[in-house]
Amino acid sequence: MLVYRLYKSTYLADPLSAEGARRAGGRWNPKGIPILYTSATPELALLEVVAHLNPSFIPSFHLLVLEIPQDHRTIALADLSPRWPESDDPLPGPLVDWLKQPDTLTVSVPSAIVSRSRNFLLHTLYPGFSEQVRIVENQPFRLDARLLGDGL
């Protein structure tokens, strides 16, 4: 299975690093847990990044294409609070357990931006991470400034 990650080109030397997620935490992981956020499509990876950009500065990006095993655990919309995209509700128990002790490489979660689409969380502390994650492509990715301009 292929998954996609759009990341700042300043991190080109270590594209599989989850240090930012470990330091800051995120929607699906608390601080201290290094999770690599990826998406089912390049388009969703772009939307996930654009949602957090400052329109006054657009950094350079690279698109990372990873090959991972097909099997994964799934967190469904039904497992989440109806207001999950806007709330700080606790994470579902199975995800909390996985964050603490990863027994599988990947968990599939709904996108908060396009709930019909999926993001894939890769646990970098999973024992087989380096053997099961293969970089297929790592190329510069031009972000069209119109996505963040006043014309929207």
117-131 average pLDDT score: 96
Q: Residue 151's pLDDT is what? A: 44
Phi, psi for residue 78 in degrees, rounded to 5:
-65, -20
User: Is the full-model pTM beyond 0.75?
Assistant: yes
Check pLDDT > 60 for residue 118: yes
| pLDDT tens-digit readout, 33-61 | 999 999 999 999 998 888 888 777 778 89
75-92 average pLDDT score: 84
- Between CA 121 and CA 73 the distance in angstroms is 10
Residue 58: name the closest of 122, 146, 149, 145 by CA. Answer: 145
97-120 average pLDDT score: 93
Q: Residue 150's pLDDT is what? A: 57
122-134 average pLDDT score: 97
| 136-152 burial: b if 16+ Cβ within 10 Å, else e | eebeebebeeeebeeee
42-46, 81-85, 86-90, 104-108 — which is least confidently predicted? Answer: 86-90
Strands in 118-123's sheet, in edge-to-edge order, are: 73-74, 106-110, 118-123, 35-39, 2-8, 61-67, 134-141
Amino acid at 31: K
| pLDDT tens-digit readout, 18-36 | 999 999 998 899 999 999 9
Check pLDDT > 80 for residue 144: no
Cβ neighbours around 121 below 10 Å, total: 28
Check pLDDT > 70 for residue 7: yes
Averaged pLDDT of the chain: 90
- Between CA 131 and CA 151 the distance in angstroms is 45
